[in-house]
Structure 1
Amino acid sequence: MKIVFDFGGVVFRWHPASFLARVLPHRIETLEQGAQAAAMFFQQYGGDWGLFDQGLIGANEVVRRISARTGWSRGEVETVVRAVPDELMPIPGTVVLIRDLKAAGHTLHFLSNMPEPYADHLSRTYPLEEWFESGLFSGRTKQIKPGAEIFAMAERRFEAQPQDLLFLDDHPANVDAALARDWQAFLFTDAASARRELVSRRLLNA
Structure 2
Amino acid sequence: MSQDVVFDLGGVVFRWQPLMLLQELFPTQVRSEAEARQWASQIFETFHPEADWALFDLGRIEPEPLAQRIAARTGLAEADLRHLIAHIPAHLQPIPGTVDLIHALKAHGHRLYFLSNMPAGYADHLVRVNDFFAQFEDGIFSAHVQQIKPLPDIFATAQARWPLRGQPVFIDDVQHNIDAAERHGWQGIRFETPEQVRGDLVGRGWLAV
Work out whether residues 58 and 147 of structure 2, in 8 Å CA contact, stay in contact via their aligned partners in 1. Answer: yes
Question: In the TM superposition, what are the counterparts of 1:3-152 in structure 2 within 5 Å?
Answer: 3-46=5-48, 47-152=51-156
Matched residues in 2 for 1:16 and 1:130: separation?
27
Q: Deviations over 1:110-133 (max 9, x none)?
A: 000001110111111112541211
Which stretches of structure 1, 4 residues or longer, exceed 4 Å deviation after superposition? none
- The residue aligned with 1:179 is 182
Secondary structure at the aligned position of 1:109 is classed as strand
Q: State the distance in 2 between where 1:34 and 1:201 align.
A: 38
Provide TM-score, normalisation by structure 2: 0.95
Give the AA of the match of 1:40. Q
AA aligned to 1:193 is: Q
| 1:155 aligned to which of 155, 159, 162 | 159
* Gap runs ≥5 in structure 1: none
**Corresponding residue pairs, total:** 205
Q: State the match for 2:196 in structure 1.
A: 193
Report the alpha carbon displacement of residue 58 of structure 1 after superposing the two structures with TM.
1.3
| Cα distance in structure 2, aligned partners of 1:30 and 1:98 | 35
1:195 maps to a residue whose letter is R
Cα distance in 2 between the residues matched to 1:178 and 1:13 = 22
Equivalents in 2 of 1:205, 1:39: separation in Å? Answer: 41
Percent identical pairs in the alignment equals 42
Unaligned runs of 5+ in 2: none
Displacement, 1:26?
1.6
Native 8 Å contact 2:6 2:171 kept in 1: yes
CA distances 1:9-60 after superposition (whole Å, capped 9, x unpaired): 0000001111111111121011222122112110111310011111111111
Aligned CA-pair RMSD = 1.0
Task: State TM-score, norm by structure 1.
Answer: 0.96
